[in-house]
Structures are given as C-alpha cells and as structure tokens.
Amino acid sequence: MSGDPQAAGADPAAMTFEQLVAALEALTTRMASGDIGIEEAAELYEQAQHLYALAAGRLARVQERIDRLAAGSGEG
C-alpha cells in the first residue's frame, strides 16, 4: 500500500495521530483480507499493538490538555 506510512518506512513515533489511525486501518484491512500467512498476521498484529499504544498515548495527552484548559476556564 503506497499510502501507508508504515510501508514507506516512516517512524511511528514521528507520525501524527491521524497518520497512526490511517496506518492502523491499513493493517487491519490487510489482516482481514485473509491473504496473509500466520507469521505475517502475527507481525502485523504486533505492529498494530504498537501503533495503538502510540495513538492511545497521544489521545490521552490531548485529553489531559483539554481537561486542564476546561478546569482553568472555570476560574476567575
């Protein structure tokens, strides 16, 4: 998949949240295709877990920022 940042050799840690989600979608589509062997499926699953952890961490940090901003807007 030429539009897949993972396939292009992009560092997942440097990807934006949106790029991480797109890479996850590409991996799940590939796994669901049924055209891969068990070893490749295991590799893709590991990659998906890593991408998910990065995306979830980014989302949690953004939520913390929003919570801090919301708490600060109620003061003074």
Say what the pTM is. Answer: 0.77
Question: What pLDDT is attached to residue 3?
Answer: 43
Contacts within 8 Å (CB) and 24+ apart, 31-40: none
**What was the pLDDT predicted at 73?**
81
What per-residue confidence (pLDDT) applies to 75?
59
Q: What is the mean pLDDT of each run of 10 residues along the chain (76 residues)?
A: 51 94 96 93 96 96 95 73
Distance CA(6)–CA(10), nearest Å, equals: 6
